[in-house]
A and B are shown apart, each in its own frame.
Chain A
Amino acid sequence: MADIYLVGVGGQGIITASRIIGDAAILAGKNVLLSETHGMAQRGGSVVCTARIGEVYSPLIPDGQADVILSLELLEALRAVCKASKKTVVVSSSERIVPLSVSTQKLKYPTLEEVRRDVTEIAGEFVSIEASKLAGEAGVPMSSNIVMVGALAGTGRTNLDRKHFEKAIEMNIARNVRENLAAFSKGFDALSRKNRT
């Protein structure tokens, strides 16, 4: 049983990330339910997908119940914190997509340290990784989402094997499969290294 709450900004590839998680679960022989945000997903708004692996009926994750919150954007990690509790690990990309409200309503975009402080008040753990830099190093700068799937696998909280994720990436990514697998690997290592230290 693993509840994964994925958040980000429309256009970041969050639905693809959720499908990879879904296929990995199916490859591992587990039941899985995903919920997707469609319609306005490409219009730059906050986007939520969920993946629940195990015997559940609804794909919605009750507040405080997420095992992992996977955020493709720093501010969105904080916005998702209602789904966290002490059992939750929050993994966020350090990428900042400044919403228009920061410019127009003169609101403040929080710093990494502020996000860490506020998230860890509720969640068990907060880890940030430079997903976009790692994706660039892998040769696919647009594949931060794949780096983040790697990071999710690296948390060890999904009970799915690495090979299932890798196969699922091959099933869902049409171009630059090798580079995307490298992106996955970089995300995986970033998290599993953190787990060791």
Chain B
Amino acid sequence: MLLLGNEAIARGALEAGIAVATTYPGTPASEIGDALARVAKDAGIYFEYSTNEIVATEFAVGAAASGVRALVSMKHVGLNVAADALLTFAYTGTRGGFVLVTADDPSCHSSQNEQDNRYYALLGGIPLLEPSSPQECYQMTKEAFALSEKLELPVILRTTTRVSHVRGPVVVGEIVPGPKKKEFVKDPKRFVTVPAVARARHLILLERLREASKLADGSALNRTYKIGTGGRSGIITSSAAFNYVMDAAKMLGMSADVLKLGFSHPLPTHLIAEFLKTHDSVAVVEELEPILETSIRAVAQHEGLKTKILGKADGAFPQAYEFDQAIVASGLVKAFGLRGEIAKTVSVDLQNLPVRPPVLCAGCPHSATYFAVNKATNRKAMFASDIGCYTLGVAPPYSAADLLVCMGSSVGTAGGLAKVNDQPVIAFIGDSTFFHAGIPGLINAVHHGHKFLLMILDNRTTAMTGHQPHPGSDKGPSCCDITSVSIEEVVRGCGVKWLKVVDPYDIKTTTDTVKQALTQNGVSVIIARRECALIVKRDQKGAILKKQYIDQEVCKKCRTCVDKFQCPAISSVDKVQTIDDASCAGCGACAQVCPYKAIKEAR
């Protein structure tokens, strides 16, 4: 069957007999959880969209420490949140198989950075598997569980966007249900990491890693491919880079041996030493950080080998952004001094082509909120933004983001901004992100009396990643019984005294409420609540909304609806502004924006 890399991971986990799967959605990892959410009930496993990645990890730790198998998946930056749990869990080790999937995002297709999470394997002393294809995603997930139980260690399965989001043929096997319950056998000298225990466990971890290195040396996941006639040139590679190596070598018509590392940490040092001994020069082809390259140079030094090692250090391969066939081909030409001609691409001048970046959708409540905030502040405010669809408000006309680093950072950074700036400070955070990481920041702001306005943009879902539920949702996936947690109660519980809830589609009230909030001392909170327009459209709940049109006889062509407001349904071509009836979501925000009342309900 044709499976997405992420779906293949879900399938592999089911076949491995998992009892528990958790996640916090994030591109490019989201479809692992989404696939499991769909089948969890039928498969008899427990699945949840956890509040954030560390909670997801801790939940899985509780299950796996008891002896059942658990899968936890997240995007790369999610592991920054989960790392605190994971790194010490490597010390206690696990009883049931524990696999953590991190989906990295070279080139930042949907991310705030392109960190290389293979470093977490090195940092934590955690075995690392790196699939290159959907078939390997499936197979390595199964093997990761077996490996985890054999070593009694958590295992990281690391993909990238071009592995997770590739769809290809996968030959699958039978789903064999595993145990769903195991009694946790108490063993505080192993599982309670007070300093004395931690010191002892660290030595055990290091011993296990030596064992893991031997397993890597003999693993079928580390194998050699011959390109052309093979010969004295070698290439060591892993993950998506392997695919580009194979395609690029064919394009170049070159001959080489390729050592593909699927089990790349701990490094299979003997295998690598042998490969280095049998080749005169070896190119190391890996995306992002020179992790293999540096370790392979260390192997060569240790073994006293003179093999030429080529990679990023010599500038043959870049250290930023994802690779493709052309980048790898050009790197191989440089590394091996090939005389091969790389087909020159035709350069077309597309400079003047209108750009089409992602934008807030027609009917998006965030658009109305941002318009109201700009009106209320006259654009004289600092905006601390956060991670979600609403980050798209950074673009004109709203320019509603001035500082953003990570999930939940709006609340924390707003305090610092407010302390050293005289302008009013407004923090924007989505509903899912508020639950994920916003709450400690809010408590801190209340406790220390920081003065800013926190706007919780509550569209009732985790929209950007595909509309997964969050703790405030009324409805969970079919597999789970959930209890909705009220944002208002949480906010009040944090000690906030000034709290208002507005409907962003009511621009006047929202504007007035923002003005009022900014006169408060200490932290004030506005919840701007309106369901995501895409969900309204999908579920056909828009019957109450009225499509709009621009009455050209009334319209003064002032362009307010395109210059100060932004809606993909409104366009201005040849100085005439019109609303596309098919795209209009009928929110009516634009009618309130128009100073001449030229925007009217369509009959």
Q: Could you tell me which A residues sit within 8 Å of B by CB distance? A: 9-10, 18-19, 22-23, 26, 31-40, 42-46, 56-60, 62-64, 75-76, 78-79, 81-82, 84-85, 98-105, 107-110, 118, 121-122
CB contacts (< 8 Å) of B324 on chain A: these are 58, 60, 62
Please tell me which one of the listed residues B4, B464, B534, B566 contacts residue A100 in the complex, with CB atoms under 8 A apart: B566
CB contacts (< 8 Å) of A57 on chain B: these are 132-133, 242-244, 246-247
| Residue of B133, B166, B356, B571 most packed against chain A (CB within 10 A) | B356
- Chain A interface secondary structure, helix, strand, loop or mixed? loop
**Complex-state Cα separation, A85 to B350, whole angstroms:** 16
**Complex-state Cα separation, A118 to B353, whole angstroms:** 11
One digit per residue, 1 when the CB lies within 8 angstroms of any chain A CB and 0 when it does not, for chain B 455-480 equals 00000000011100000000000000
CB contacts (< 8 Å) of B132 on chain A: these are 57
Known A-B contacts A33-B168, A60-B325; A39 and B110 likewise in contact (beta carbons under 8 Å): yes
Q: How far is the CB of A61 from chain B (nearest CB, A)?
A: 9
A104 touches B396 (CB 8 A): yes
CB contacts (< 8 Å) of B167 on chain A: these are 18-19, 22, 33-36, 59
Q: How far is the CB of B429 from chain A (nearest CB, A)?
A: 19
B251 touches A62 (CB 8 A): yes
A122 touches B348 (CB 8 A): yes
CB contacts (< 8 Å) of B355 on chain A: these are 99, 101, 107
Known A-B contacts A40-B110, A81-B348, A104-B396; A62 and B358 likewise in contact (beta carbons under 8 Å): no
| Residue of A42, A56, A64, A84 most packed against chain B (CB within 10 A) | A42
CB contacts (< 8 Å) of A118 on chain B: these are 348
One digit per residue, 1 when the CB lies within 8 angstroms of any chain A CB and 0 when it does not, for chain B 21-34 equals 00000011011000
A43 touches B244 (CB 8 A): no
CB contacts (< 8 Å) of B169 on chain A: these are 26, 31-32
| Residue of A22, A36, A84, A103 most packed against chain B (CB within 10 A) | A103
A38 touches B31 (CB 8 A): yes
CB contacts (< 8 Å) of B244 on chain A: these are 57-58, 60
Please tell me which one of the listed residues A42, A109, A122 contacts residue B361 in the complex, with CB atoms under 8 A apart: A42
B110 touches A63 (CB 8 A): no
Q: How far is the CB of A138 from chain B (nearest CB, A)?
A: 17
Q: How far is the CB of A117 from chain B (nearest CB, A)?
A: 12
**Complex-state Cα separation, A31 to B135, whole angstroms:** 12
Is B240 in contact with chain A by the CB < 8 A criterion? Answer: yes
A75 touches B354 (CB 8 A): yes
Known A-B contacts A63-B326, A100-B566, A103-B570; A39 and B354 likewise in contact (beta carbons under 8 Å): no
CB contacts (< 8 Å) of A102 on chain B: these are 354, 571-573
Is B109 in contact with chain A by the CB < 8 A criterion? Answer: yes
Closest-by-CB residue of B relative to A109 is B354
Is B378 in contact with chain A by the CB < 8 A criterion? Answer: no
**Complex-state Cα separation, A146 to B541, whole angstroms:** 26
**Complex-state Cα separation, A18 to B534, whole angstroms:** 22
A-B contact pairs, 25 of them (CB 8 A): A26-B2, A31-B168, A36-B166, A36-B167, A37-B109, A39-B464, A39-B465, A40-B27, A40-B110, A42-B534, A43-B360, A45-B356, A46-B357, A58-B240, A58-B243, A59-B166, A62-B324, A98-B573, A100-B568, A102-B572, A103-B573, A109-B573, A110-B353, A118-B348, A121-B348
CB contacts (< 8 Å) of A81 on chain B: these are 348, 350
Closest-by-CB residue of A relative to B2 is A22
CB contacts (< 8 Å) of A85 on chain B: these are 346
A62 touches B356 (CB 8 A): no
Is B84 in contact with chain A by the CB < 8 A criterion? Answer: no
Q: How far is the CB of A64 from chain B (nearest CB, A)?
A: 5
CB contacts (< 8 Å) of A56 on chain B: these are 247
Closest-by-CB residue of B relative to A23 is B2
Additional pairs, 13, CB under 8 Å, beyond known A37-B109, A104-B572:
A38-B27, A43-B360, A58-B244, A59-B168, A62-B324, A76-B356, A79-B356, A81-B350, A100-B562, A102-B354, A103-B562, A103-B572, A118-B348
**Complex-state Cα separation, A59 to B4, whole angstroms:** 12
Contacting residues of chain B (230-248) with chain A, CB-CB under 8 angstroms? 240, 242-244, 246-247
Q: How far is the CB of B334 from chain A (nearest CB, A)?
A: 18
Is B540 in contact with chain A by the CB < 8 A criterion? Answer: no
Q: How far is the CB of A15 from chain B (nearest CB, A)?
A: 9
CB contacts (< 8 Å) of B353 on chain A: these are 75, 78-79, 107, 110
**Complex-state Cα separation, A85 to B324, whole angstroms:** 18
Contacting residues of chain B (332-368) with chain A, CB-CB under 8 angstroms? 343, 345-346, 348, 350, 352-361
CB contacts (< 8 Å) of A10 on chain B: these are 358
**Complex-state Cα separation, A10 to B169, whole angstroms:** 25
Q: How far is the CB of B56 from chain A (nearest CB, A)?
A: 19
CB contacts (< 8 Å) of B357 on chain A: these are 45-46
Q: How far is the CB of A62 from chain B (nearest CB, A)?
A: 5
Closest-by-CB residue of A relative to B350 is A79
B356 touches A58 (CB 8 A): no
Give 10 closest A-B pairs by Cβ, nearest first: A39-B27, A45-B358, A43-B358, A58-B243, A63-B345, A39-B110, A57-B243, A103-B572, A34-B167, A99-B356
One digit per residue, 1 when the CB lies within 8 angstroms of any chain A CB and 0 when it does not, for chain B 355-399 equals 111111100000000000000000000000000010010001100
Is B312 in contact with chain A by the CB < 8 A criterion? Answer: no
Is B280 in contact with chain A by the CB < 8 A criterion? Answer: no
A75 touches B356 (CB 8 A): yes
A46 touches B242 (CB 8 A): no
